[in-house]
């Protein structure tokens, strides 16, 4: 069940994985600001989820992944999961 969703429009010239990672970081920052404790972030980029989980390394995403870990440590129960675009309808509505 989605109880909170947000969007942010930004012009960017980064590659798609970096934009997705920045979006995850922003989502975690927003969850922290809203005092949420149980958070599930869904990403369409498997590489982003893998980098944040620590099962894959991509140098360009390393600093953002580090930021995400720091934010996750301040939240309660947090997960970042990969979902195919067609299975992540909440993100597109």
What does the pLDDT look like over 11-61, one tens digit per residue?
878 788 899 899 999 999 999 999 998 888 888 888 998 888 888 888 889
**Domain assignment present for 2:** no
Number of domains the chain contains: 1
SS3 10: coil
The model scores a pTM over 0.85: no
Q: Which domain holds residue 38?
A: 16-85
**Domain assignment present for 6:** no
Q: What are phi and psi of 81, to 5 degrees?
A: -125, 145
**Domain assignment present for 79:** yes
**C-alpha 64 chain-centroid distance:** 10
SS3 5: coil
- Report CA Rg, the chain: 12
């Amino acid at each position: 069940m989605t109880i909170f969703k947000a969007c942010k429009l930004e012009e960017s010239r980064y590659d798609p994985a970096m934009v997705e990672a920045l979006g995850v970081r922003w989502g975690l920052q927003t969850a922290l600001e809203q005092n949420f404790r149980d958070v599930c972030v869904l990403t369409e980029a498997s590489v982003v989820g893998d980098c944040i989980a620590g099962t894959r390394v991509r140098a360009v995403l390393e600093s953002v992944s580090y930021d995400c870990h720091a934010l996750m440590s301040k939240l309660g129960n947090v997960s970042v999961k990969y979902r195919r675009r067609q299975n992540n309808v909440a993100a597109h509505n």
